[in-house]
Amino acid sequence: MQIRQHIAMEETDAPQSWNMMFANVENNLAPWQFSPADRANWTEALDKEA
């Protein structure tokens, strides 16, 4: 998996969105840009609406 990721990010002309997703998976363990600790922050808005 790491070799494929390296090839896609460094040695090919992969779309920029793929490279961003790979970097996010590597750093945040998910394809999103925010950290795992912040993933549920969106639910705070639901509490305010209720």
**Whole-number Å distance between alpha carbons of 24 and 30:** 6
Chain segment 15-28, per-residue pLDDT in tens = 888 888 888 888 88
How much is the pLDDT for 49? 67
Burial 5-23 (b: 16+ CB within 10 A, else e): eeebeeeeeeeeeeeebbe
**Contact yes or no for 15/4 (Cβ under 8 A):** no
Chain segment 1-50, per-residue pLDDT in tens = 888 878 877 777 778 888 888 888 888 888 888 888 888 888 888 877 66
pTM: 0.53
